[in-house]
Structure 1
Amino acid sequence: MAAISTNTILPVKPTQSSISNKGFLGKLYFRKIELSKSRGFKLQQKLIVSAIKDNSNAVPTAESSPSVGRSRVRRHTISVFVGDESGMINRIAGVFARRGYNIESLAVGLNKDKALFTIVVSGTDRVLQQVVEQLNKLVNVLKVEDLSSEPQVERELMLVKLNANESNRAEIMWLVDIFRAKIVDIAEESLTIEVTGDPGKMVAVQRNFSKFGIKELATTGKIALRRERMGESAPFWRFSAASYPDLEGTMPIDSISETTSKALEAQPNLTTGGDVYPTEPYDGFSMNQILDAHWGVLDNEDSAGLRSHTLSLLVNDCPGVLNIVTGIFSRRGYNIQSLAVGPAEKQGISRITTVVPGTDESIGKLVQQLYKLIDIHEVRDVTHMPFAERELMLIKIAVNAVARRDVLDIASIFRAKAVDVSDHTITLELTGDLDKMVALQRLLEPYGICEVARTGRLALVRESKVDSKYLRGYALPIDACSSV
């Protein structure tokens, strides 16, 4: 009891009646309270003055805050350029899966010997830097770049199938015009719409179309190209003889393709060490690190029954599911020709659209193996059904003011849109099937192609059951022939 201070009894306030009865003692008690209050007030003033002096000598908090801000989680856009080989998609997805990252979107542009991955993932700057270092250690990875802090052109592609009847079809058509979308299929009870734009536009479109009832939804991941700044020197002029004919020392396109092919021929000898050893950069790829138009996708069935099959998978949106799915393909020796991953019509579900070559029998066995996975909800082979297919491509061409008009004229024929213009480049956006993109890219090769970003193929079954591919080769109906 002796250890307790007498100041602890001060909060106990006596009543007025008890103080008046004590007389002189009551006055002394009040005098003690007044002195304690005055001393406490003076002590408080001293503390305030000392705090002000300390703050004047302290370092401002704004300078120390960036250390905290750098550790916050934000969305990163990573571009990975690789020399394509079997199992490369599985290895890249495994780098994120082993660290617990859930890939929000993935777009893969593939051709015969190269691939460009555009990956969107959330994380801190420090941890994402470690992921970039791990990706650089993979064999055949030529370039890894984080585009998050750069000014960029970003686009996504979405195919959405809506419930449409006579009462709401006019309103749907009105919204299609507002968002500059396109209708790719019309049936009695549904409409299939194609939309391209940045991620914010995709959210707005999905929000406005949801009131009509979304039957199916297929989206690609985001693709991005860096915006070229005005006034910069033209670093791509050596690829372009048509755009910059007045410059000396231009390198012919044939020599560039020869250098690239030599690097590709020497590339398999370097892949024997597995996927955990760093690789030296190739001189040939530093000259022409783009996806050329030689993609080699099989469409028609050959004599052995081999053809490209388009598969649509519904999976759970959880970390590592893409690594598990692509592992099924790589362990069985299937070479993925196209891959598009994005959210589906239901929350927590993702849709994977992939193109795999094989016979009908082998693809049927592959579908059975995919159904054994826990996170798989549905696997559908739409190859032998009428379906709408679309791909998205961003292509940057090296042009000056003289050649710009010619490039825009070619783009207008293919209904491509110019999305970025500088004094030495122009970036075009194009949607369509594979043949359309190959044709445009080959026409633009003489001008000099700086960069190409592509998504995989999206496919939705046509409710109208009409596809021009299945109408080719059939004779006209008898009534039509008689009328002619």
Structure 2
Amino acid sequence: MAAAASPIHPQFQAPLKAFSRGDGEVRFVRYLDSSWAGGGLKLRRGGGGLEVRASSSESGVAGVVSDAPTSRTPNSVKRHTVSVFVGDESGMINRIAGVFARRGYNIESLAVGLNKDKALFTIVVSGTDRVLQQVVAQLNKLVNVLKVEDLSKEPQVERELMLIKLNVGPDKRQEVMFLVNTFRAKIVDISEHSVTIEVTGDPGKIAAVQRNLNKFGIQEIARTGKIALRREKMGESAPFWRFSAASYPDLEEVVAPDALLRATNGSFSDSDQSSRGDVYPVEPYEGFLANRVLDAHWGVLDDDDSSGLRSHTLSILVNDTPGVLNIVTGVFSRRGYNIQSLAVGPAEKEGISRITTVVPGTDESIGKLVQQLYKLIDVHAVQDMTRLPFAERELMLIKVAVNSTARRDVLDIADIFRAKAVDVSDHTVTLQLTGDLDKMVALQRLLEPYGICEVARTGRVALIRESGVDTKYLREQSP
């Protein structure tokens, strides 16, 4: 005769259910179901996951353990893309880098585009959601910070630019050219024993290119930080719908006359401004001409003036450790330099980063600045490339307001500049462009009449041309 099932001990009339509090600690609560009793082990899958019910006839213990998946804990570390829109002034980069350094964050990449009176930062860091929220709160407390956003959870167009110099002789050049064509890269310089390649894409593509070219022997790498723009939504709920509809009234059937009047006068209500701001908010301006959104050429001095002041391009190799960017930019800040552009990314060696920056100054003052940088422990090498032939590149994402008619004109202009459309909506087109400073300015000025919604730009990256062919700088040298 089968033994009768032992009753459940009164202490366990409500079996226990396991759950995670999110901080790694497991707690048990009463599972209010005392209808089951008996010996052995039973499994039951319910809406909360797999329930393991156990009962012992000897101890009278019954319980429930659930394998229900818990939500991602706020303490998990992940990569964040932070966009910071600030008023440009001397020392601003140092103050922003200092906020991350004090929290122990190591900035993986940073790109700064200069505006007439503003700067656009795109920063990539790894950390927890909780600590990043505290960093964002600290950034918002800085005097000249206008807007801070974490773009990691949004659909976005993300791009990065890399210049990579290979030690390649004539015997391996054909294989390199095959990989260049496969990844849609470009050759920007070639000499007897080296090839310099330009490649643009998302971070995954950049890593794949570097991994495939590593076998040829990488001599130097210069990378920009990642830049990103949100992918534009469709329809009237999109952030720039009002902007585009005011520029092209045929985008919507009925446009309120007062809305058009406010748009023409360059004034919007507070709610309109919040809906217009996306990655970088756009200032009101007259007639929807974007001559104040971004001027990539602002403050850059190409030719010597009477005092010998000009823009200098510096390449700095540093240790990839938390706080090193704050230390380096602190040298610039203490000497009163206003950094015109800055690009920070991994270098050719593991644990080393390359900082490419453009600063104004005379040859004498920049020479003293280089000596100060060499005194820093984390600095390995500093090179002023201004008087040398070098390949320079920048990357820009630009979102333009269009309708069905203007879209064709904008794409025709993009083809002339070899720009590429990377995102299209019913009222905007986002273009990707790589080139030197003058190319950026020329395209932007042609697109201004259509209405520029927003712009994201990296700083300049540069590598010395091994071929020595660069007439822009060689003409200054004596034969």
Report if TM-score (shorter chain) is over 0.5.
Answer: yes
Deviation at 1:295, TM superposition (A): 1.7
TM-score for the superposition, normalised by structure 2 = 0.79
> Are the counterparts in 2 of residues 242 and 403 from structure 1 also a CA contact under 8 Å?
no
Which structure shows the bigger proportion of residues in strand conformation? 2
Q: Does 1:62 align with 2:68?
A: yes
Match of 1:467 among 462, 466, 470: 470
User: 2: distance between equivalents of 1:166 and 1:443?
Assistant: 41
Higher relative contact order (CA 8 A, sep 6+): 1
Q: Does 1:159 align with 2:152?
A: no
- Pairing of 1:4-43 with structure 2 (within 5 A): none
Q: Does 1:46 align with 2:46?
A: no
> Are the counterparts in 1 of residues 53 and 65 from structure 2 also a CA contact under 8 Å?
no
Letter in structure 2 aligned against 1:104: E
User: 1: distance between equivalents of 2:300 and 2:102?
Assistant: 31
Deviation at 1:251, TM superposition (A): 6.3
Match of 2:209 among 205, 208, 218: 205
- Pairing of 1:10-409 with structure 2 (within 5 A): 46=39, 48=41, 52=53, 61-62=67-68, 65-66=70-71, 69-233=73-237, 235-236=239-240, 239=243, 244-246=248-250, 249-250=259-260, 256=266, 285=283, 290-293=293-296, 295-409=298-412
> Are the counterparts in 2 of residues 116 and 291 from structure 1 also a CA contact under 8 Å?
no
Deviation at 1:40, TM superposition (A): 13
Instruction: Name the CA shift for 1:371/1:176 in 2 (closer, same or farther; >3 Å).
Output: same
User: 1: distance between equivalents of 2:203 and 2:303?
Assistant: 35
Counterpart secondary structure, 2:325: helix
Give the number of equivalent residue pairs.
412
**Deviation digits for residues 107-127 of structure 1 (CA, Å, limit 9, x no counterpart):** 111122111110110111111
Instruction: Tell me which structure has the larger Cα radius of gyration.
Output: 1
Instruction: Name the CA shift for 1:473/1:77 in 2 (closer, same or farther; >3 Å).
Output: closer
Structure 2 unmatched ranges of 5 or more: 9-36, 44-51, 56-60, 268-280
> Are the counterparts in 2 of residues 234 and 424 from structure 1 also a CA contact under 8 Å?
no
- 2:426 corresponds to which residue? 423
**Deviation digits for residues 209-234 of structure 1 (CA, Å, limit 9, x no counterpart):** 10000011000110000001233445
> Are the counterparts in 2 of residues 106 and 341 from structure 1 also a CA contact under 8 Å?
yes
Counterpart secondary structure, 1:402: helix
Instruction: Name the CA shift for 1:241/1:304 in 2 (closer, same or farther; >3 Å).
Output: farther
> Are the counterparts in 2 of residues 159 and 194 from structure 1 also a CA contact under 8 Å?
yes
- Using the TM superposition, name which of 216-225 and 395-404 deviates more: 395-404
**Deviation digits for residues 244-281 of structure 1 (CA, Å, limit 9, x no counterpart):** 05455446999549xxxxxxxxxxxxxxxxxxxxxxxx
User: 2: distance between equivalents of 1:424 and 1:339?
Assistant: 32
User: 2: distance between equivalents of 1:434 and 1:253?
Assistant: 31
Which structure shows the bigger proportion of residues in helix conformation? 1
Instruction: Name the CA shift for 1:305/1:125 in 2 (closer, same or farther; >3 Å).
Output: same
What fraction of aligned residue pairs are identical, expressed as a percent?
Answer: 75
User: 2: distance between equivalents of 1:286 and 1:48?
Assistant: 69
User: 2: distance between equivalents of 1:326 and 1:470?
Assistant: 28
Deviation at 1:371, TM superposition (A): 0.3
Counterpart secondary structure, 2:405: coil
Counterpart secondary structure, 1:69: coil
TM-score for the superposition, normalised by structure 1 = 0.78
Instruction: Name the CA shift for 1:474/1:128 in 2 (closer, same or farther; >3 Å).
Output: closer
> Are the counterparts in 1 of residues 343 and 355 from structure 2 also a CA contact under 8 Å?
yes
User: 1: distance between equivalents of 2:241 and 2:80?
Assistant: 30
User: 1: distance between equivalents of 2:233 and 2:392?
Assistant: 34
Instruction: Name the CA shift for 1:231/1:196 in 2 (closer, same or farther; >3 Å).
Output: same
Structure 1 unmatched ranges of 5 or more: 1-37, 258-282, 478-484
- 1:270 corresponds to which residue? none
Letter in structure 1 aligned against 2:68: A
Deviation at 1:240, TM superposition (A): 5.3
Deviation at 1:473, TM superposition (A): 8.7
Deviation at 1:133, TM superposition (A): 0.8
Instruction: Name the CA shift for 1:338/1:161 in 2 (closer, same or farther; >3 Å).
Output: same
Counterpart secondary structure, 1:145: strand
